[in-house]
Protein backbone atom coordinates (compact mmCIF):
# COMPACT_ATOMS: atom_id res chain seq x y z
CA UNK A 1 0.00 0.00 0.00
CA UNK A 2 1.47 3.31 -1.13
CA UNK A 3 1.41 6.02 1.52
CA UNK A 4 -0.24 9.19 0.26
CA UNK A 5 1.90 12.31 0.34
CA UNK A 6 0.57 15.33 2.21
CA UNK A 7 -0.13 17.91 -0.52
CA UNK A 8 0.80 20.69 1.91
CA UNK A 9 4.27 19.38 2.77
CA UNK A 10 6.67 22.28 2.42
CA UNK A 11 3.93 24.90 2.35
CA UNK A 12 4.66 27.76 4.74
CA UNK A 13 2.12 28.70 7.41
CA UNK A 14 1.53 32.12 5.86
CA UNK A 15 0.88 30.50 2.48
CA UNK A 16 -1.66 28.17 4.09
CA UNK A 17 -3.53 31.22 5.34
CA UNK A 18 -3.45 32.72 1.85
CA UNK A 19 -4.82 29.48 0.41
CA UNK A 20 -7.52 29.39 3.08
CA UNK A 21 -8.63 32.95 2.32
CA UNK A 22 -8.66 32.08 -1.39
CA UNK A 23 -11.12 29.26 -0.75
CA UNK A 24 -8.99 26.17 -0.17
CA UNK A 25 -11.19 24.04 2.09
CA UNK A 26 -8.34 22.04 3.65
CA UNK A 27 -5.57 24.59 4.15
CA UNK A 28 -6.70 25.86 7.54
CA UNK A 29 -7.17 22.31 8.80
CA UNK A 30 -3.52 21.63 7.96
CA UNK A 31 -2.49 24.79 9.81
CA UNK A 32 -4.47 23.74 12.88
CA UNK A 33 -2.98 20.23 12.75
CA UNK A 34 0.55 21.63 12.75
CA UNK A 35 0.08 23.83 15.80
CA UNK A 36 -2.73 22.25 17.83
CA UNK A 37 -0.46 20.42 20.30
CA UNK A 38 1.52 23.54 21.24
CA UNK A 39 -1.64 25.64 21.45
CA UNK A 40 -3.21 22.97 23.66
CA UNK A 41 -0.19 22.98 25.98
CA UNK A 42 -0.40 26.75 26.46
CA UNK A 43 -4.17 26.61 27.05
CA UNK A 44 -3.90 23.75 29.54
CA UNK A 45 -1.12 25.41 31.51
CA UNK A 46 -3.02 28.71 31.58
CA UNK A 47 -6.43 27.31 32.54
CA UNK A 48 -5.47 24.09 34.33
CA UNK A 49 -8.61 22.26 33.22
CA UNK A 50 -8.56 19.94 30.16
CA UNK A 51 -12.17 20.64 29.17
CA UNK A 52 -11.76 24.41 29.53
CA UNK A 53 -8.50 24.25 27.59
CA UNK A 54 -10.09 22.24 24.78
CA UNK A 55 -12.96 24.71 24.55
CA UNK A 56 -10.55 27.67 24.54
CA UNK A 57 -8.48 26.17 21.71
CA UNK A 58 -11.62 25.38 19.74
CA UNK A 59 -12.95 28.92 20.22
CA UNK A 60 -9.58 30.35 19.22
CA UNK A 61 -9.34 28.26 16.06
CA UNK A 62 -12.84 29.29 15.03
CA UNK A 63 -11.86 32.93 15.58
CA UNK A 64 -8.65 32.46 13.58
CA UNK A 65 -10.58 30.72 10.78
CA UNK A 66 -12.90 33.69 10.50
CA UNK A 67 -10.22 36.37 10.94
CA UNK A 68 -7.63 34.87 8.58
CA UNK A 69 -8.06 37.63 6.01
CA UNK A 70 -7.04 40.22 8.63
CA UNK A 71 -3.59 38.63 9.10
CA UNK A 72 -1.05 41.11 7.77
CA UNK A 73 2.19 39.22 8.26
CA UNK A 74 3.63 41.53 10.92
CA UNK A 75 4.40 38.51 13.07
CA UNK A 76 4.76 34.79 12.51
CA UNK A 77 1.54 32.86 11.99
CA UNK A 78 2.27 30.78 15.09
CA UNK A 79 2.60 33.98 17.16
CA UNK A 80 -0.73 35.19 15.79
CA UNK A 81 -2.38 31.87 16.67
CA UNK A 82 -0.90 31.82 20.17
CA UNK A 83 -2.15 35.34 20.78
CA UNK A 84 -5.71 34.33 19.87
CA UNK A 85 -5.50 31.25 22.13
CA UNK A 86 -4.12 33.22 25.08
CA UNK A 87 -6.87 35.82 24.70
CA UNK A 88 -9.48 33.06 24.67
CA UNK A 89 -7.92 31.59 27.83
CA UNK A 90 -7.85 34.96 29.60
CA UNK A 91 -11.51 35.52 28.77
CA UNK A 92 -12.39 32.17 30.30
CA UNK A 93 -10.15 32.72 33.33
CA UNK A 94 -11.75 36.11 34.06
CA UNK A 95 -15.24 34.65 33.76
CA UNK A 96 -14.28 31.77 36.06
CA UNK A 97 -12.82 34.20 38.60
CA UNK A 98 -16.00 36.25 38.64
CA UNK A 99 -18.12 33.24 39.56
CA UNK A 100 -15.60 31.38 41.73
CA UNK A 101 -16.96 30.27 45.07
CA UNK A 102 -14.13 28.00 46.24
CA UNK A 103 -10.69 29.42 45.32
CA UNK A 104 -8.74 26.54 46.82
CA UNK A 105 -10.48 23.77 44.92
CA UNK A 106 -10.32 25.83 41.74
CA UNK A 107 -6.58 26.37 42.21
CA UNK A 108 -5.99 22.66 42.72
CA UNK A 109 -7.02 22.07 39.12
CA UNK A 110 -3.65 23.54 38.18
CA UNK A 111 -2.01 20.22 39.03
CA UNK A 112 -2.51 19.19 35.42
CA UNK A 113 -0.27 21.97 34.12
CA UNK A 114 2.80 20.85 36.09
CA UNK A 115 5.48 18.61 34.63
CA UNK A 116 6.44 15.53 36.68
CA UNK A 117 9.12 16.45 39.21
CA UNK A 118 12.13 14.20 38.72
CA UNK A 119 13.69 13.67 42.12
CA UNK A 120 14.39 10.99 44.69
CA UNK A 121 11.25 11.94 46.60
CA UNK A 122 8.63 9.28 47.20
CA UNK A 123 5.45 9.43 45.05
CA UNK A 124 3.42 10.74 48.00
CA UNK A 125 5.94 13.54 48.55
CA UNK A 126 5.94 14.46 44.85
CA UNK A 127 2.15 14.55 44.89
CA UNK A 128 2.16 16.96 47.82
CA UNK A 129 4.76 19.09 46.07
CA UNK A 130 2.58 19.32 42.98
CA UNK A 131 -0.46 20.24 45.05
CA UNK A 132 1.42 23.07 46.76
CA UNK A 133 2.71 24.37 43.45
CA UNK A 134 -0.79 24.18 42.00
CA UNK A 135 -2.32 26.15 44.86
CA UNK A 136 0.37 28.81 44.54
CA UNK A 137 -0.15 29.24 40.80
CA UNK A 138 -3.88 29.50 41.35
CA UNK A 139 -3.41 32.64 43.44
CA UNK A 140 -2.09 34.69 40.51
CA UNK A 141 -4.25 37.00 38.37
CA UNK A 142 -4.86 35.59 34.86
CA UNK A 143 -2.54 38.08 33.13
CA UNK A 144 0.40 37.26 35.41
CA UNK A 145 -0.34 33.56 35.12
CA UNK A 146 -0.34 33.73 31.31
CA UNK A 147 3.00 35.58 31.24
CA UNK A 148 4.61 33.07 33.60
CA UNK A 149 3.22 30.11 31.65
CA UNK A 150 4.75 31.40 28.42
CA UNK A 151 8.10 32.57 29.81
CA UNK A 152 8.89 30.29 32.75
CA UNK A 153 6.98 27.13 31.86
CA UNK A 154 6.89 27.07 28.05
CA UNK A 155 10.32 28.65 27.71
CA UNK A 156 9.39 31.46 25.32
CA UNK A 157 11.80 34.42 25.15
CA UNK A 158 10.28 37.56 26.67
CA UNK A 159 10.07 39.25 23.26
CA UNK A 160 8.10 36.36 21.78
CA UNK A 161 5.80 36.21 24.79
CA UNK A 162 5.18 39.94 24.37
CA UNK A 163 4.17 39.41 20.74
CA UNK A 164 1.82 36.59 21.74
CA UNK A 165 0.22 38.64 24.53
CA UNK A 166 0.26 41.78 22.34
CA UNK A 167 1.85 43.89 25.08
CA UNK A 168 5.26 45.59 25.42
CA UNK A 169 8.19 43.48 26.60
CA UNK A 170 8.35 45.62 29.72
CA UNK A 171 4.80 44.60 30.59
CA UNK A 172 5.70 40.91 30.27
CA UNK A 173 8.76 41.43 32.47
CA UNK A 174 6.78 43.29 35.12
CA UNK A 175 3.99 40.69 35.13
CA UNK A 176 6.54 37.91 35.51
CA UNK A 177 8.36 39.82 38.24
CA UNK A 178 5.16 40.47 40.18
CA UNK A 179 4.05 36.88 39.75
CA UNK A 180 7.40 35.52 40.93
CA UNK A 181 7.36 37.88 43.91
CA UNK A 182 3.93 36.55 44.91
CA UNK A 183 4.94 32.93 44.42
CA UNK A 184 8.33 33.03 46.15
CA UNK A 185 7.02 33.24 49.74
CA UNK A 186 4.69 30.32 48.96
CA UNK A 187 7.35 28.14 47.33
CA UNK A 188 10.63 28.97 49.08
CA UNK A 189 10.30 26.11 51.56
CA UNK A 190 9.92 23.62 48.70
CA UNK A 191 13.36 24.47 47.36
CA UNK A 192 14.81 24.36 50.86
CA UNK A 193 13.38 20.87 51.33
CA UNK A 194 14.82 19.76 47.99
CA UNK A 195 18.32 20.99 48.91
CA UNK A 196 18.03 19.26 52.28
CA UNK A 197 17.30 15.96 50.53
CA UNK A 198 20.54 16.32 48.54
CA UNK A 199 22.65 16.44 51.67
CA UNK A 200 25.04 18.91 53.23
CA UNK A 201 27.14 19.33 50.06
CA UNK A 202 24.39 21.12 48.15
CA UNK A 203 26.42 24.25 47.49
CA UNK A 204 24.92 26.91 49.78
CA UNK A 205 21.69 28.88 49.86
CA UNK A 206 20.48 29.88 46.36
CA UNK A 207 16.75 30.04 47.06
CA UNK A 208 16.17 33.47 45.55
CA UNK A 209 17.50 32.40 42.13
CA UNK A 210 16.14 28.85 42.03
CA UNK A 211 13.43 27.91 39.58
CA UNK A 212 10.28 25.94 40.30
CA UNK A 213 10.79 22.18 39.93
CA UNK A 214 9.41 20.95 36.62
CA UNK A 215 9.95 24.20 34.67
CA UNK A 216 12.40 24.24 31.74
CA UNK A 217 15.63 26.20 31.80
CA UNK A 218 15.31 29.61 30.15
CA UNK A 219 17.47 30.27 27.09
CA UNK A 220 17.36 34.08 27.16
CA UNK A 221 18.80 34.61 30.60
CA UNK A 222 15.48 35.32 32.31
CA UNK A 223 14.93 34.21 35.87
CA UNK A 224 12.80 31.24 36.74
CA UNK A 225 9.94 31.31 39.22
Task: Judge whether residue 66 has pLDDT over 90.
Answer: yes
Task: Judge whether residue 7 has pLDDT over 70.
Answer: yes
All structural domains of the chain, each given as residue ranges with its CATH number in brackets, are: 11-99 (1.10.1740.10), 102-217 (1.10.10.10)
**Mean pLDDT, range 41-60, rounded to an integer:** 89
What would the pLDDT profile of 97-155 be if each residue is shown by its tens digit? 665 544 443 334 434 444 443 444 555 666 676 667 667 777 888 899 899 889 887 88
Nearest to 84 by CA among 68, 64, 70: 64
DSSP secondary structure of 69-106: GG--SSS-HHHHHHHHHHHHHHHHHHHHHHH-S-HHHH
How far is 21 from 187, CA to CA, in rounded Å? 48
**Binning pLDDT at 50, 70 and 90, where does residue 46 land?**
confident
Q: Between 136 and 43, where is the model more confident?
A: 43
Would you state the torsion angle of the CA atoms of residues 63, 70, 85, 82, taken in this order, to the nearest 10 degrees? 150
Task: Judge whether residue 23 has pLDDT over 90.
Answer: yes
**Mean pLDDT, range 68-93, rounded to an integer:** 92
* pTM beyond 0.85: no
What would the pLDDT profile of 111-125 be if each residue is shown by its tens digit? 444 444 344 455 566
How far is 179 from 96, CA to CA, in rounded Å? 19
**Mean pLDDT, range 170-179, rounded to an integer:** 93
Nearest to 41 by CA among 150, 170, 124: 150
Nearest to 89 by CA among 165, 140, 36, 156: 165
Amino acid sequence: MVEQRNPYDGTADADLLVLHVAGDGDAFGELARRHRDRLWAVALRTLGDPEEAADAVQDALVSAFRAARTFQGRSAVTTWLHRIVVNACLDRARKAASRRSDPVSDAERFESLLEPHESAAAPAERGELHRELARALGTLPPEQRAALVLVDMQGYPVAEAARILDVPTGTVKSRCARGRAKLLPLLVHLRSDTRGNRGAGGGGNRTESASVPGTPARKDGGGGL
